[in-house]
Amino acid sequence: MPQPSRETVFAALNSLLLSANYPFTLQNTDSRVMKPWEMVTSAIQPALYLQEGPQKAEQNTAGLGLNRWTWTAKAWVYFRCETITEIPATIINQVIDAIDQAILPPGLPGRQQTLAAQNGGKPLVTNVRVTEVMFDEGFLDPKSGQVIVMVGLEILTSN
């Protein structure tokens, strides 16, 4: 069975992330075009951006067969404290939980997130999981109250 294209997988992952239950309404529509926070005005925040990362290949049988890939990505969420009435840490925790819940496989335990729901019920990958979380509560730009949340993701293909 041929592996799905990277574009198909990352588009499905982006769709999944956009459907997460965030504590606010996302304002951007170009979430696959990564932008540094300095270029994202308050008018298009809160915003989500999916940034594709390094990709690593492995083979289960030395020199034979298809590669099994591990792809990485980062989900960046930007919002400003000036437009949010709660403290930054509260919203940050809700954003992380929203992404974590969206990535959780349906029907846990013992299931994997295959992005099947974004592909008409047909699995695209072996698993997607959260690998790390980093954030800034507004210290980078205290005048604007800019908050940044980054959630690292790992996508494992089948071979």
- SS3 label, residue 26: coil
pLDDT tens string 73-104: 999 999 988 755 668 899 999 999 999 999 98
How far apart, in whole angstroms, are the C-alpha atoms of residue 5 and residue 3?
6
* Lowest mean pLDDT across 51-55, 58-62, 153-157: 58-62
> What predicted TM-score, i.e. pTM, was given to this entire model?
0.90
Considering only CA atoms, which of 3, 26, 23, 1 is closest in space to residue 14? 26
Domain 6-156 has CATH 3.40.50.300: no
The predicted structure's pLDDT at residue 58: 86
